Structure 1
């Protein structure tokens, strides 16, 4: 295991890694997220972005500490196995992989969907208002292949390409904020449109966090963690890159939502915020305000921003498959590193095939974003539990970043993740949680075959997570109609029950942690080398 990871080059510094995080976060989310959030929550969607960013920061702090402790590629799918064994490790890794690998096709689809607003007939024929046409799907397939090739030869090429792309991605949203603000911003839209400031109440604000692409938009904080095995001074640079990229992106997203709400022409709001129909939101808004040069910039960036994110995620998902193979749940070929280019090529090929499958099944940005958001939340659950369990199990491990107050932040992170899952609305919650469980046959096949002697112990350590997922399905089904449930549990009480239940499951999860074989192996090697690098 150690020999494999040492073959990965540590080429990425703090600046490039932070740009990688921002490059993952600022993708298609900024192109569509403000519009979708406004449709769900109206002007109050500005609160959705603030709350969403704070929630993700709570979760990211846990993973930042873990990334500093265990600087290895594919780390996000490895950490839960260190504290709870293979059963939790597999479920968390499966959820994380499903959430991340599907980002590759959604970014390609976002590019094509924006391009369909170009003033040429061939471009407009690529999207029919609901999904990509055959020509649009063909172009999206080509874009995914480009993402693949940019990562195929070396992580250094990936980092250099991403640095250039990310600078462009950073500049265009800033130009959009400034240009739209001075061209048409006014406060009338915040209070005088049908429904007022908060047309759907707080339930709309909370639902927007879960289903409008806000969670999806911030998901890129994982990328610096998953690339930790290829980072210079990972103990310092990984946590810093995670926090810096989240804060910078959070400010940009908030300002984008603010100027979007304040600049939509009244003629577009005749049917209220829910009836706001846009094909390419910010570009359509720029054209309506007479800012032609900005619309041109956004049409170009509609290719650059999602493509940059797709390139980053192509690298990330390959490292995740690499990490899951190390956990023992994929054939060993997917753990192979190319001897010359130092990238996990077999894992990249697998993800390319899966990305094409997702693209074929879900042919529009809107079709995928809700599913990805819920899967992402499920994948976050284990982080706050794992980081606190490891503080108890291995208190003497070196922690380059040891956050003060994490004993409070971690359970808050688990609770708010549970709330986001609930806010996602039934039946979507049930559908996605079911997808999380259908990967279990793969686990049972490899686990029984590989380590029968620890099978029952791992099942016992992970029982809390299976019960949690089934319980959240039930609560979502019984919950208030504001969140798609059958209103057996009334609004207000439903969230109180979720908070209390989440805290109890969190405590159960902490008690289920044990000193795993993986931890024993890491501790032995750290004593020999003075490092936990794997």
Structure 2
């Protein structure tokens, strides 16, 4: 009999040791506070710069797409509340390959958030302390400030998850009051209705494609994906089967309400004379003084006494608002490491708990990653986009996991049972896929390469530890894969495509063999290496390993298809897209629908799921 269930067996015993100290309000505020983190400080500005007044449509569309995912995870979390849930669910239903890819991408994305929130605080503080930033980049003083904040919240997480919950709840109430008061004051004292329709370009100055472009690139999706935070602490929540799904949904709805009001207030609050910009030039907003702190500068420039006075309160809140997210996301990343170890994709040491029952090994890893991520990115919007894309990739598996669980575990208790599950699961899958596609090739190529960089770890670690493959044999495949991936990405994509594209300042490249052949060769190389590697490893794997790898092939196709469609579509590198909008989006939706059907059919009842279901049944019987 395979020993592949051992990591989950040990994880279940560790799950029982976790302290259940969180309740409904903490779960709700984990979700709400993570949604209304640094996003409310900057995303209204970047959305307006990308779309203009129609950015309100972008927020509504983003809300609907992420709501589908929220509802899917509500059923999953009610059925199996787990710490490290996001990376454990795909393992229960689709095995080791899909869960490894999800875990790798999720850790890449989640670990960026402490840096994102720290940079947001630093950008606001730079209005008073200009030495913190220089030309949009953190100075050494700015970097040290972010690093100190990260260490402080590491210590808070290490001490007690209960303390993190209470801190988040306390700041969360302020994050309801201050943003809503800001919007109300602008509506009543400084609102310019002419900004919506009476300016050059009108309501939709940059075309319909800008509405979807804004979702992944301006902080909208980055903000909304904060809904997941309560899910990641599921094993530490009292009455988790009730409190996790209800708290998650409540936090999502409240966050969306706040953002839509803030976006309306920002559009109406822009005074073109005060910022010395020609009326209707929305794209220029991100290069004005508003980029230092959109709402703070908006109120300060208004010359309305009540607004100027309130700007001081808003500034203090702008600094305090992202702080809980640094703490929560650091804990989230730690639990992602914990969940990966539970799936057998990381050493069991990541399941170790401190005396206070905290997964401390993953917490230390998240501290290191949080500091490292601060170094390479210039401003909030760039690192937010990288984090958004990496995390949204992981949400693609949610719908297939739900429908697989409906099929293989029909009698399991589901406190929240999603109506219209097939339709909503399909929409959640398609929506997540489209968000990744809309992110533009100029960002997606890097995320694709970063995710694929983890693939050899699966071959070398997971396949040898769990599927009976010789470590030496796996190394002969994994190491050449890294060498070719890095070299091909740099020389064929970055040097041959991205550098020339960047030199056009976004205007786009002409369709030419000069820019086509490098991409074709790159994709051909990576397809051959990736699927060839899987084929070779499967030939040496045990029966369970072969099943797990076959069940996860669709996830690899998701990654390759998204980057190929991004290259040829509206959001690619060409001045005249090969497939223009909206046909590109229709094509991407159809491709994702086919992948959704494949993913659902690939699901099966893993040994890990059987262990989790037995434990869940025992917990229910004992409660």
TM-score range, shorter chain: over 0.9
2:296 is aligned with 1:283: yes
2:320 is aligned with 1:307: no
2:414 is aligned with 1:324: no
| Residue equivalent to 1:237 | 243
2:146 is aligned with 1:140: yes
Shift of 1:56: 0.4
> Per the alignment, do residues 502 and 153 of structure 1 end up closer, same or farther by CA in structure 2, a change over 3 Å counting?
same
Q: Is the 8 A contact 2:567 2:573 kept in 1?
A: no
Structure 1: gaps spanning 5 or more residues: none
Q: Is the 8 A contact 1:20 1:312 kept in 2?
A: yes
Shift of 1:106: 0.7
Shift of 1:526: 4.6
| Residue equivalent to 1:10 | 20
| Residue equivalent to 1:505 | 595
Larger Rg: 2
2:366 is aligned with 1:351: yes
2:260 is aligned with 1:254: yes
Shift of 1:484: 6.2
Q: Is the 8 A contact 2:106 2:390 kept in 1?
A: yes
| Residue equivalent to 1:335 | 351
Q: Is the 8 A contact 2:72 2:402 kept in 1?
A: yes
What TM-score does the superposition give when structure 2 sets the normalisation length? 0.82
Q: Equivalents in 2 of 1:163, 1:314: separation in Å?
A: 16
Q: Equivalents in 2 of 1:73, 1:160: separation in Å?
A: 18
Shift of 1:520: 2.3
Q: Is the 8 A contact 1:207 1:483 kept in 2?
A: no
Q: 1:179 aligns with which of 182, 185, 192?
A: 185
Shift of 1:522: 2.6
Correspondences of 1:405-444 after superposition (within 5 Å): 405-444=420-459
Q: Is the 8 A contact 2:84 2:233 kept in 1?
A: yes
Moved more, 70-79 or 160-169: 160-169
| Residue equivalent to 2:123 | 113
| Residue equivalent to 1:274 | 283
Q: Cα deviations across residues 59-93 of structure 1 (Å, max 9, x unaligned)?
A: 11111111111111111110000000010111112
2:92 is aligned with 1:82: yes
Q: Is the 8 A contact 1:522 1:532 kept in 2?
A: no
Shift of 1:300: 0.8
Correspondences of 1:365-380 after superposition (within 5 Å): 365-380=380-395
Shift of 1:524: 3.9
What TM-score does the superposition give when structure 1 sets the normalisation length? 0.96
> Per the alignment, do residues 31 and 530 of structure 1 end up closer, same or farther by CA in structure 2, a change over 3 Å counting?
closer
| Residue equivalent to 2:515 | none
Shift of 1:266: 2.2
Shift of 1:170: 1.9
Q: Cα deviations across residues 227-262 of structure 1 (Å, max 9, x unaligned)?
A: 110111111111101110000000100000001000
Q: Is the 8 A contact 1:476 1:485 kept in 2?
A: no
| Residue equivalent to 1:37 | 47
Q: 1:264 aligns with which of 266, 270, 275?
A: 270
Q: What is the number of equivalent residue pairs in this alignment?
A: 528
Aligned alpha-carbon RMSD (Å): 1.7
Q: Equivalents in 1 of 2:254, 2:613: separation in Å?
A: 36
Q: Is the 8 A contact 1:41 1:200 kept in 2?
A: yes
Correspondences of 1:154-169 after superposition (within 5 Å): 154-169=160-175
Q: 2:65 aligns with which of 51, 55, 61?
A: 55
Structure ranking higher on relative contact order (CA contacts 8 Å, 6+ apart) = 1
Shift of 1:458: 1.2
Q: Is the 8 A contact 2:78 2:241 kept in 1?
A: yes
Structure 2: gaps spanning 5 or more residues: 1-9, 468-541
